[in-house]
Structure 1
Amino acid sequence: MKGTIMQEFAPVNWPDGKRVAVMLTFDFDADTLWLSRDPENALRPGTLSQGQYGAKVGVPKILETLKTAGVPATFFVPGWTVETYPDRTDAIMKEGHEIGHHGYLHEWIDPREPEREEEAFVRGLEALRARGIEPRGFRSPAWETSPNMISLLAKYGFHYDSSFMDTVHPYLHATTGNPVVEIPVHWSLDDAPFMMFSTRTPRTIMTNSHLLEIWQAEFEEIREWGGVFNLTMHPQFTGRPSRIRLLRDMIEWLQQFPDVWFARGHEVCDAWLSSNDSARAASE
């Protein structure tokens, strides 16, 4: 079947005997976060300015923080964002971080329209390639998926996905063609539920201490399980002044653990494949 799990998970021998992989990921949606939710937001410059903050201020501050800490990251970027903010995309690449595919206009998938799904996928991929980016990984916008998605990734030669929430260990999707590794996510490790606010969909904005308590507790148990701590952030939220402090504090706390491996998405994917040659062979 399309997009089904080949196996729940297999143990990973993380490089250099490390116990847990840490992925710092940033969904650089910019304006598309708001345009995809409501096309009428194109007429609301105040609403769009939240996304624009991510490009103007958030990305540079995040890159500065990562550079100071000496850790790598993966940025998932919609094609529209690449076209609209090419200088920021170039800055991410210049710092050696990975760029993954994240749709074109951060489109929410409608499983009943596979043709439109592929059209948006290809348009976003072409925008990345036009900037000299050949992405190996994909994250579906808003983590909205379809039964077609994994087959689509295999068709276009992707190596990993980061959109499912069914475990804390990487695993292999059942596909025809090249293997597609899943690097799972979860809303508890996403900044948006705790920081995102709109007058049309108001929610409580949480303090840094609240997030640190959740994220650190999640990390400690994932570390015990030998999994991957996949932290999802957005430049328009985590790029805010106090949240940059949160990012800095979280990284410094993680760096206290000698058995942590900070890695980009494609490195986590390769480590899993190297540790599970039999699963990889079965998929080919």
Structure 2
Amino acid sequence: MPNIPWPNGAKIAVNLTFDFDAETLWLGRDPTNVDRPGTLSQGTYGAKVGVPKILELLADERLPATFFVPGWVVENRTHIVEKIVKADHEIGHHGYLHKSIDPNGLEMELEELEKGTESIKRVVGVAPVGYRAPSGETSANLIRLLTERGFIYDSTMLDDVEPYRHVLEDGTPGVVELPWHWSMDDAQYLLTSIKFHRPMATNGHVLSIWKAEFDEAYLSGGYFDLVMHPQVTGRPSRIRMLREFITYIRKHDNVWFARSRDVATAWLKVTNTPSDGPIVSPFLRRNAEGIISQR
């Protein structure tokens, strides 16, 4: 659905999103990491340094963002999550312990969903309306589960470049999908550890890819979803990189920076039926606020 009529005549909607996993990125991946303080300290950095630096940058730039936070992080890094909420950023659902879904044990998906929701409601005081699956791993049950629980959107799928609406098996409209891609995820280029080793890209390489992706999204008049992690982009040189990227985006007219929930809500207002969006993946068939920037 190119050339979406975004609010106030915006040409493109830009989501700055942060997966605030803290230590769960390593605990959910491998429970034995609980005895590896060096490995866990990467997640600790995200809470201790990364998020505060990101919040400072967002305040300087006067930009809204969405933070997808596991329930464990909400419970154990509460004072940092409260700072995110106080700054009027969105808290999205990101599981409970950042566990990847096992197709042979789908009860874990429901447990992660319910425990994460309960934690956010109890600690933050609001019910999350958006969800992003840990590590992008999900099941055919997820969209139904989210729809039944009153979620507005999901941001897990990689099957499009524009938002679309899921349709359940019985034809019931499901949640809006805000798609993403690994090419716009900082972890793909910059995340490493002793047990999870891969070479790190230079900041210039990452920035060049993000600029190229944004350029094409802007030309089509659509949507741009940037996925970042405080323990990755929260490093000093990468904060500078993100600030440079924001400056680059702002050189373009009519860019709408918005929280994910605002994008999903706005998209629902300009579409009439689920069929208005792209065809959903076969296995899934069984208050618009933000900032417009102009030169």
**Coarse TM-score class (shorter-chain normalised):** over 0.9
2:161–2:180 Cα contact (<8 Å) kept: yes
Q: In structure 1, give the amino acid aligned to 2:41.
A: S
> 2:156 aligned to 144, 163, 186, which one?
163
Q: In structure 2, give the amino acid aligned to 1:134.
A: A
- Please report how far the alpha carbon of residue 179 of structure 1 lies from its aligned counterpart in structure 2 after TM superposition: 3.4
1:10–1:276 Cα contact (<8 Å) kept: no
- Please report how far the alpha carbon of residue 280 of structure 1 lies from its aligned counterpart in structure 2 after TM superposition: 8.4
Describe how 1:44-193 pairs up with structure 2 within 5 A.
44-131=36-123, 132-175=125-168, 179-193=174-188
Shifted more, 170-179 versus 33-42: the winner is 170-179
Residue 191 of structure 2 is aligned to residue 196 of structure 1: yes
State TM-score, norm by structure 1: 0.93
Instruction: Tell me the percent identity.
Output: 53
Using the alignment, how far apart are the partners of 2:71 and 2:247 within structure 1?
Answer: 32
Residue 20 of structure 2 is aligned to residue 22 of structure 1: no
1:157–1:178 Cα contact (<8 Å) kept: no
State TM-score, norm by structure 2: 0.90
- Please report how far the alpha carbon of residue 11 of structure 1 lies from its aligned counterpart in structure 2 after TM superposition: 5.4
2:156–2:179 Cα contact (<8 Å) kept: yes
2:103–2:139 Cα contact (<8 Å) kept: yes
- Please report how far the alpha carbon of residue 151 of structure 1 lies from its aligned counterpart in structure 2 after TM superposition: 0.6
Paired residues in the alignment total 274
2:165–2:173 Cα contact (<8 Å) kept: no
Using the alignment, how far apart are the partners of 1:153 and 1:19 within structure 2?
Answer: 29
> 2:233 aligned to 234, 238, 251, which one?
238
Q: In structure 1, give the amino acid aligned to 2:118.
A: E
**1:157-203 alpha-carbon deviations (Å, 9 max, x no partner):** 10000010111100000136663000000000000011101112211
Gaps of 5+ in 2: 278-295
> 2:222 aligned to 199, 202, 227, which one?
227
Using the alignment, how far apart are the partners of 2:182 and 2:241 within structure 1?
Answer: 18
Using the alignment, how far apart are the partners of 1:269 and 1:67 within structure 2?
Answer: 23
- Please report how far the alpha carbon of residue 117 of structure 1 lies from its aligned counterpart in structure 2 after TM superposition: 1.3
Using the alignment, how far apart are the partners of 1:166 and 1:219 within structure 2?
Answer: 17
Give the aligned partner of residue 4 of structure 1. Answer: none
